Structure formats: structure tokens, C-alpha cells
Structure 1
Amino acid sequence: MLTSEACIKQFRDDYSLRLSKTLLSVYEISIRQMISFCEKPYNEVTTRDIRSWLKHLYESGYKSSSIKTKMFGLRLFYKYCLEEGLITHNPVESIPLPKDRDKLPHYLTIEQLVQLRLLCEGDLKLRAIIEVFYATGVRVSELVNMRLEDINWSERMIRIPKGKGKKERIVLFTNECAEHLNSYLQERRDELPFVFVNRSETNAVTIWSVGYWLRPFGEKMGVHLSPHTLRHTFAAHLALKGMPLASIQALLGHDNPKNTIIYTRLHQEAQKQMYEQWM
């Protein structure tokens, strides 16, 4: 019986002239990812194992379209294995492809948020950025333009003078956020007016840099992590705590009907989770 490695190589070689190099590479990565997750040889993987892997992908924030592509790869691989007499049962055959749909905004669970905080301990700026995102729900464009003069420390409020649509609003922040933000500001040696500055302390931090700094932590956690993930986390956790949808929308600065629909669905899902916890 072929080993998993030998089987994947044989599959790749046999399909090298039938599929594009890029697509074949995507399929191979998906097959290896599934086998690694299941911790079994390809010929011992069951339908239940694959369903568990798919659940893991959904929980990790993969889009339905990405999961569908991975499933196409698995279907082709196991169809090949069956035709070659390497297996007697196709474990993917009875699993339907995921339906394309508007997914709920991806957000971190409480446990993942705790993990993220632990991973970035020691980096005062990144820790402060994470807390500001989580406490205020601001957009990354609003965070990089945030100025020291806009912070009201006594009331724990931040004025967002030029939010999306040029509309001003006020966001609130927690004591924990205040502590980490203050710790970061105390270590600064520049006199720039911005709340967050670049590594060389010569200008405001850029949108690209914030996303770049967050990415490695998401990879360590095995989830998609971006500034927008933290904005969604802010909204989702408030919904889970029972805050009315209208209040969350006001804090987010939303007036786009499409965004309203998405967060309405998120709020409904949160209400459902709260209900199930009590039943």
C-alpha cells in the first residue's frame, strides 16, 4: 500500500498535464492540510474526519469559496485513489459542497482574544492598538488618523472627527484600554500629534503597517487576523453581552444598509447563542 506521501506524488504526476500548475498546487496543499489535521494516512481517513476538518476551516475564518476549492481537490484526489484501487470507499462522496452565502463577519472568540493578548505581551504599541480596536470598534483608517488631542482621558472617550462619510462621532474606551494606551504613550520620545506612530517615530502609522504587524499573530493562532477582524470582534462581543443592535450600529458609525443587514445577522446569531446557553 502506498504511503500518503507516495500517493500524493503519484496523484500530482498523473494530473500534471491535465490541470494547471497553480490549481494542482492548491489541490495538493489542501490534501496535505487535511491529512495533517486528521493525523491519519489518506486511506484511513473517514467521512467524519473530513467533516471535522471542514468545521475547523469554518471556525478558522475560511470563506465558503476557499473551502469549496479545497473540497474539489479532495474529491478529485479520492476519486483517483478509488480508480487506482488504493481505497475501497470514498470518504468525500457523501459530503456536499458548501453553499455560497453571505457569511457572518469573522470575529475572534473570547478564548482567541485572550490568546492574542498573551502573544503580543511585551509589544506596548501593538498591545495598545489591539485594545483600541477591541474597545472602540474603529476602522483602521480612523485609528491611523487618531490624534492625541481627540482623547478625553477623564471621560474615556475619543472623538473621531473624520469617520467614513466625513461624519464625526464619539467612541468610548475601557479602563484596560486606557492602561495599555497610556503605557505605550509613556514610552514614546517623539512629539508627534498622532496616537500611533511608525517604527522610526517620524510620522503616523500607516494602514498597511497595522495589517502587516497583526498578520503573524493570526498565523500563530491559525485564524485570519486583520484590523477588520478586531472591529467585527468588538461588535460581536457587545452583541453577545446583549447590547441593542441600534447602539452597536451607532458606535460603529454605520449608515450603509448593506452593513446594517450583515450586523443584524450577526446580532441575531449572538442572541441565538445566548439563548442556547440558557437552555
Structure 2
Amino acid sequence: MDCETCINQFELDYQFCLDPKSVELYLLSVKQLIEHSGKSIDTLNKKHIRLWLYYLSEKGYKPQTISSKLGGLKTFFTYCCEEGILSTNPAVGISIKMEESKPFYLSLTDLTKLRQLVNKRILAERAIIEVLYATGMRISELSNMRREDIYWNERTIQIQKGKRKKGRIVLFTKECEVHLKAYLDTRMDDVPYVFVSPKYADRPIQIYYVGKRFREIYSKQLGFRVTPHTLRHTFAAHLAQKGMPLEYIQTLLGHESPQQTRYYARLYNHARKELYDEFM
């Protein structure tokens, strides 16, 4: 099987198992490796992979990015071995030394500052802040959220299509309910999406647009960096400080991968220690 056929077969077989963006990134890593080494899939070895990873490091890629690319290669080569395309996996045993960064999330004081800043802006932005913080959902999940997914009596939201196409139910607070209803009460349209694009009123709000507001407005005016994903971390950290077990938090976050588990275990322990230090 030639390289192109092998790559196409991987994409076809994994389209229902992984998020399409993940598949795209995995295959990009494979194509970049092939281009850099000048080798075909069946002639690649550990030396070629290590030389490519070293090249990425010299080009200034962050360790997290290089590790992600290596993870894509490992998934692809594991598939090739399972399908009998390769007899050995050239990526086995290769690892990236990662410097563990300190988990970052907002303190209650910084969260209050963010809320006060957004209070002066439009209702939709205030509602977005509360939904992200109260549910811990991803920005992509917020973009896809529909009105029919909200169950007001139970104060829950059904996330229909999360990462790797797994749905789940998340909770939201009374404060979130107030701001979300205040925003939706201003809507006179029948568009099914909870948050709509400022540019195209019949489409869901764009992930890029929300990220840009955080990056170019909130972060600059507050004097510290805040992103939609920061609120996801803050959601987890604040629940940890209130005593919720880690496994419950992970269920609400909707993830199962070992890498995510390790990160949120560190975040959990860090948040609990901060709470301990505050009272000692």
C-alpha cells in the first residue's frame, strides 16, 4: 500500500472514532515527517522521527506542540501495525521531555474582575462568561449549543456533540440562569443556536470571534491573560476547592484521555493545596 492510500485509509477508518480536527492534525504530522525525511511510510525508522522532532525543536516549536505531533504519529503507526501495513512501530519508545507548567486558573478575585468588566458590555458576552465558568464546557461545545439543549427546570444542558463525538450533561448555576435568560429574552428570532454570530445572524457564534474578545479586549483591559479555556480550568479548580472528588469533575468535563487526566489531577492537587495554604 502506498503512502497516499495508507493515509486515506486511516482517515476513512478513524472519521467516526476521533474528532475530525484531531484526524487532520495527526495526518498533518505524518505528511510533515514524510516530507522532511524523504522516506516512504514503510521505510521510516526511529532515527528519521528523532531527526524530525529535533528539527521542530530547532525551529522554535514548543514542547507541548512537538509532543502533540509525536502523539499523532504514534496513533497513525499503531494503526498501520494493526492493519498489517507495518511489522514494527517506529514511534515506540520515543518520548518528549516536558516541563510541567503550573496549572493556571482564575482566583475568585480575578473572576470577579472579569465579571465586572463584562457587565459593562452586551448581555451575550456576560452570558458566555457565565456558561463557560458554570459548566466547564469547551468553546466548541458552547458554539454548537442549541436552545433545545437547555433544561431550565433541572438547570442542566445536554451537550450533544463534544470532543470525540461524546455527549454528556452539565449543570449550571442560578447566576448563570439569570444571565442566560436575560440574554435570550432579548432575542426576537427563531434561530436554534443559543449564541449567534454577530456577522451572520442565522449561524452559531464563531469560536475565533469569542477567542478574539478574550484575547484582545478582556485580557488587555484586565491586565492578565484569560481565555475561554481558562474558565474551563477555573471551573475545575473551584470545584476542587469546594471538595468535589476528581472523578466527578472529570465526568463533568467530559474527558477520558490519560494526558487530560494527568493534567487535571495536577490542577486538582494544586487547587486543593492553595486552599490549604489559605487557611494555614
Instruction: Please tell me the TM-score bracket, short chain as reference.
Output: 0.5 to 0.7
> Matches of 2:168 and 2:202 in 1, distance apart?
28
How far the C-alpha of 1:269 sits from its partner, in A, is 1.1
Q: CA RMSD in A?
A: 1.8
Matched, 1:209 2:209: yes
Greater Rg, structure 1 or structure 2? 1
Deviation, 1:278, is 2.9
The correspondence of residues 113-262 of structure 1 with structure 2, limited to 5 A, is 113-121=111-119, 122-200=121-199, 201-215=201-215, 216-262=217-263
2: CA distance, partners of 1:117 / 1:174: 15
Q: CA deviation at 1:212?
A: 1.2
State the shift of 1:274 in Å. Answer: 2.2
Q: Which amino acid aligns with 1:206?
A: Q
Paired residue for 1:105? 103
Residues paired across the two proteins, number: 183
Q: Distance in 1 between matches of 2:229 and 2:141?
A: 12
Mapped to 1, the partners of 2:277 and 2:213 lie a distance apart of 36
Between the aligned partners of 2:108 and 2:156, the Cα distance in structure 1 is: 24
Q: Which amino acid aligns with 1:119?
A: L
TM-score by length of 1: 0.63
1:208-237 deviation digits (Å, cap 9, x = unpaired)? 011112221111111111111111111111
Once the two structures are TM-superposed, the CA of residue 190 in structure 1 deviates from its matched residue by: 1.7
Displacement after TM superposition at 1:104 (Å): 3.1
Larger mean Cα displacement after TM superposition, 123-132 or 102-111: 102-111
Distance 1:226 1:275 in 2: 27
1-side partners of 2:102 and 2:195: how far apart? 30
Aligned partners of 2:145 and 2:276: how far apart in 1? 38
Cα distance in 1 for partners of 2:109, 2:275 equals 17
Task: Indicate the percent of aligned positions where both proteins have the same amino acid.
Answer: 52
Q: What letter matches 1:239 in structure 2?
A: A
In the alignment, the residues of structure 2 paired with residue 144 and residue 119 of structure 1 have an alpha-carbon distance, to the nearest angstrom, of 22
Deviation at 1:108?
A: 1.1
- Is the contact made by 1:104 and 1:262 (CA closer than 8 Å) also made in structure 2? no
Is the partner of 1:106 in helix, strand or coil?
A: coil
Partner of 1:76: none
What residue identity is the alignment partner of 1:227?
A: P
Output the CA distance in 2 between the equivalents of 1:278 and 1:226.
29
5+ residue gaps, structure 1, are: 1-63, 66-99
Shift of 1:240: 1.3
Shift of 1:120: 1.0
Distance 1:111 1:278 in 2: 17
Whether the aligned pair in 1 keeps the contact of 2:103 and 2:266 (CA below 8 Å) is no
1:206 and 1:174 map into 2 onto residues whose CA distance is 24
| Deviation sequence 1:230-275 (CA, Å, 0-9, x none) | 1111111111111110011000001010011011011111221222
Q: Which amino acid counterpart does residue 137 of structure 2 have in structure 1?
A: V
Q: How far apart are the structure 2 equivalents of 1:151 and 1:252?
A: 17
SS in 2 for 1:120: helix
Matched residues in 1 for 2:130 and 2:160: separation? 20
Amino acid of the residue matched to residue 135 of structure 1? A
Q: Is the 8 A contact 2:103 2:270 kept in 1?
A: no
Shift of 1:101: 2.0
How many Å apart are 1:191 and its aligned residue? 1.0
Distance of 1:156 and 1:163 partners within structure 2:
19
C-alpha deviation, 1:167, in angstroms: 1.1
Moved more, 269-278 or 141-150: 269-278
**What secondary structure sits across from 2:126 in the alignment?**
helix
Q: What is the deviation of 1:145?
A: 0.2
Measure how far apart 1:125 and its partner are: 0.3
Give the C-alpha shift of residue 202 in structure 1.
2.6
